[in-house]
Amino acid sequence: MEQSKEMEARLRELGGQAPAGRGAFRRLLARAWEGWGREPDDLDRTVHGVWKAMAGQSLEMAMCQWLAPLARGMGDHDTARLAERHWRQKEGAICELRPFLVPLAELTARMGQVAFVARQPLKVEADVAPEPEANGKPEAGGARRDKWKKRD
Q: Is residue 73 part of a domain?
A: yes
105/39 Cα distance (integer angstroms) = 16
107-118 per-position pLDDT tens digit? 888 887 777 777
72/89 Cα distance (integer angstroms) = 19
Q: Is residue 19 part of a domain?
A: yes
Q: Model pTM greater than 0.75?
A: no
Q: Which of these, 90, 38, 96, 46, lies nearest to 65 by C-alpha position?
A: 90
pLDDT of the residue at 61: 93
Q: Is residue 115 part of a domain?
A: yes
Q: Is residue 137 part of a domain?
A: no
List, run by run, the mean pLDDT of 10-residue segments along the chain (152 residues).
76 70 61 61 86 90 91 92 94 94 89 77 73 64 52 52
48/38 Cα distance (integer angstroms) = 10
In the chain, count of helices (H) and strands (E)?
A: 5, 0
Rounded to 5°, the CA angle 58-63-67 comes to 145
Q: Is residue 107 part of a domain?
A: yes
Q: Is residue 133 part of a domain?
A: no
Q: Is residue 143 part of a domain?
A: no
Domain that holds residue 52: 2-119
Count of domains observed in the chain: 1
Looking at residue 106, which CATH number applies to its domain? 1.20.1260
Q: Is residue 141 part of a domain?
A: no
- Report the first-to-last Cα separation within the chain, whole angstroms: 89
